[in-house]
C-alpha cells in the first residue's frame, strides 16, 4: 500500500506541490464531489494508488472546497479547467493530463512510468 493522497486546500499548498515536482513527479487530481464521472475517475485513481509507484506524490484538489486552487492550477499550468482531471507535473510543468473517462488506473500508471523513466 502506498502513501496517502494529500489534499491541496490553499494556493500555498499548490505552490509547494509545484516546488516538490522538481524533486519527483507530482500527480494532481481535480475532483468534483457531485459528479458521477468524477466519482468513477476517483475510484480509478484509488485503484492506481493501491499499487502505484511510490516515487510519485499524489495530491487532491476538491473543486467545491478549493476553487481558487483549482483555478490557479489551470492558470499556472496553462490548462483548461476540467473536472475530473488528472495532471502529472514534473519540474513545475505539466507533462501529461487527462480528463473524464480518459482517467484510468492503467493510464495513470503509464503516464507515471513515462515521467519517471
CATH number at residue 27: 3.40.30.10
pLDDT tens for the chain, 117 residues long, are: 345 789 999 999 999 999 999 999 999 999 999 999 999 999 999 999 998 899 999 999 999 999 999 999 999 999 998 999 999 999 999 999 999 999 999 999 999 999 987
Closest CA to 103 of 35, 30, 54: 30
Please report whether residue 22 resides in a domain. Answer: yes
Please report whether residue 29 resides in a domain. Answer: yes
Please report whether residue 32 resides in a domain. Answer: yes
Please report whether residue 1 resides in a domain. Answer: no
- Let me know: does 76 contact 15? Beta carbons within 8 Å: no
**C-alpha pair distances (Å), 70 with each of 14, 41, 53, 55, 81:** 9, 17, 24, 24, 8
Please report whether residue 69 resides in a domain. Answer: yes
How many domains does the chain divide into? 1
Please report whether residue 67 resides in a domain. Answer: yes
Per-residue confidence (pLDDT) for residue 4, from 0 to 100: 72
Provide the domain limits for residue 88.
6-116
- Model pTM? 0.94
Amino acid at each position: 500500500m502506498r502513501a496517502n493522497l494529500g489534499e491541496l486546500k490553499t494556493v500555498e499548498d499548490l505552490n509547494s506541490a509545484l516546488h516538490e515536482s522538481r524533486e519527483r513527479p507530482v500527480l494532481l487530481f481535480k475532483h468534483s464531489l457531485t459528479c458521477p464521472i468524477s466519482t468513477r475517475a476517483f475510484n480509478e485513481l484509488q485503484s492506481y494508488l493501491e499499487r502505484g509507484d511510490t516515487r510519485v506524490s499524489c495530491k487532491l484538489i476538491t473543486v467545491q472546497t478549493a476553487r481558487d486552487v483549482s483555478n490557479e492550477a489551470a492558470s499556472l499550468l496553462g490548462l483548461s479547467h476540467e473536472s475530473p482531471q488528472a495532471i502529472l507535473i514534473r519540474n513545475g510543468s505539466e507533462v501529461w493530463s487527462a480528463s473524464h473517462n480518459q482517467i484510468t488506473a492503467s493510464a495513470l500508471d503509464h503516464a507515471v512510468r513515462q515521467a519517471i523513466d
